[in-house]
Amino acid sequence: MALRRFGIDLSPDQVEVWARGEGLVIQEPAVLARQRGNGRPLAFGVAALEMAADRDQEVELSWPLGVERLGDTGAAEQFLRQVIFRVVGRLLFSRHELMLGVPAELSTKSRRALLQVAMASGARMAHMMDLPVAAALGAGLPIAAWTPLPLLFLLPQAAQLAIVCHEGLLSHRAIAPLPGSWDGEMGLAALSQAILDLLLELPGPVRAGAEASGLALAGRGLTLAPIGDRLAASTGLAARILPDPDHCVAKGTEVALARIESLGAEGLLYLR
């Protein structure tokens, strides 16, 4: 039986699965519908939202994925289990390998819970990588170089900022959502200050390299171009939007699996 490989973007807003040789096979809201009372999982994604809209259904919705920790560990485990079963089926010996892309700030406890679910699905191997590294890899940035690359990943309800360098992260932080939108005055001010603060944490020569690289933007649910223009004006960093900004994380997780396959242990990315 051929080994199937899947990269999974576990962002708080939606889950995306990129299959080797097939491309994007799942793109669903990261929401789970459970039976009210006993918590039994019923559906995820659009099906969960439709089920909740049916007043005859006794269901409750949960958005279990988070940036720093899982909003509901039990619901997150049920959610990931349903996602994996959607793409690999319920066969015990399905021979699949998984790469999970998660927010860089996600706690060790939350990471362990998700990896346990991935391995319990019958996976031959399950890996995990930080979302900013996956985004840079999926966009084709030269992450193996020592050149520091500032990267901002924006979602309507969350933002992640990181300095990607040599297949890892020099520094990173989550930016808490504010009233309004990221393209409003308060949101842009918060993003600009976070970028400048992160640069100040770097040693002088490294900071100069990051400033020369400019700011890379990815994300979804927002119009990135005007946000990039205004951040460039406020921070002095040239800003560019990464190719396929909506799906670069899922794509990067699959690319990471391909590198592990071709290079073996020596090709492992910075995974923790």
- According to the model, what pLDDT value does residue 267 have? 41
Round to whole Å and give the CA distance between 219 and 39: 32
> What DSSP line would sit under 46-88, residue for residue?
HHHHHHHH-TTS-EEEE----SSS-S-HHHHHHHHHHHHHHHH
DSSP single-letter state for residue 157: T
- Considering the entire predicted model, what is its pTM? 0.93
Predicted pLDDT of residue 269: 41
Alpha helices in the chain (DSSP H): 46-53, 73-88, 108-120, 131-138, 185-200, 204-213, 224-235, 248-263
What's residue 29's pLDDT? 97
pLDDT recorded at residue 114: 95
Q: What is the pLDDT along the chain (272 residues), one digit of tens a residue?
A: 568 899 999 999 999 999 988 999 999 999 999 999 899 999 999 999 999 998 777 899 999 999 999 989 999 999 999 999 999 875 555 679 999 999 999 999 999 999 999 999 888 889 999 999 999 999 999 998 899 999 999 999 889 999 999 989 999 999 987 778 899 999 999 999 999 999 999 999 999 999 999 999 999 999 999 999 999 999 999 999 999 999 999 999 999 998 887 766 444 444 44
pLDDT for position 264: 64
* pLDDT reported for residue 94: 61
Q: What angle do CA 150, 238, 199 make, to 5 degrees?
A: 40
Domains of the chain with CATH codes: 4-134+248-267 (3.30.420.40), 141-241 (3.30.420.40)
The pLDDT of residue 266: 45
Please report how many Cα atoms fall inside a 13 Å half-sphere around the Cα of residue 66, on the Cβ side.
Answer: 17
State how far Cα 33 lies from the chain centre: 22
